[in-house]
Amino acid sequence: MDISNYIDYTLLKPNTTERDIIDLCYNAKKHKFHSVCISSCYVPLANQLLQESEVKVCTVIGFPFGSMSTQAKVFEAKQAIEDGADEIDMVINIGYLRSRNYVSVLKDISDVKIVTGKKPLKVILEISELNKNEIIKASEICLDAKADFIKTSTGFSKSGATLTAVKIIKKTIKNKAKIKASGGISDFDTALKYIDAGAHRIGTSQSIKSKKSNRQIRNTKIYTDYIETVQHNDFIKTDVNNETIKS
């Protein structure tokens, strides 16, 4: 099974550099992943790098805690879209949810959805901070707010996605929204289990590839080929007859 189009290829570390984003986009195009998921400051760069490809630009809003004001989230989402983002992943206000302030949770998501319009909005629940009933309630609110996806985790909390949580979410939302499993998914076999459980998208920082044999393929040196290509091109160029000519 080819799962390339399920992958949101993710890089959200605070020390991420422009070079890291260039490498991320190169590998996303190479492996035909669905999108790159990056911090909003790098949306313009990624948008420029991916213009000639089908790879989408996804960015995060209210990340990673979700506790900023709704107005701040709305502004961030609007700016990201203006900069070229195709999809938005926003973090739910966990404190409001656990306080049972469901009206504020609904408004938080709804106001961002108004800004994103037809562009997919994924709402991150951070399941490691919630019990089963809270996961169910959060999923119901996401449906009421017209969210397109429910996402399990930021990858910055104490744990990531679980199959149990994905099944709870799937049972709650049925086919009314989609599911993104994210956090701790680093190989083909694990990704396939989440897809079988109901996930429509996989968030991962690993370059997961698949072949017809369904054998796990893990690229442990993601950037090697690209770096070698860049170094090579610094010294040579190729003419129309594919003959190498020294610069």
Which residues are part of the catalytic machinery? 89, 151, 180
Question: At 112, which helix (H) or strand (E)?
Answer: helix 102-116
CA distance 231 to 32: 23
Is 180 exposed, middle or buried (CB count within 10 Å of its CB: 0-12, 13-18, 19+)? buried
How many other C-beta atoms lie within 10 A of the C-beta of residue 214?
A: 13
Dump strand ranges (E) for the chain. 7-11, 35-38, 56-61, 87-91, 121-124, 149-151, 178-182, 201-204, 208-209, 217-218, 236-238, 244-246
CA distance 72 to 77: 9
Tokens encoding 74: 């709305």
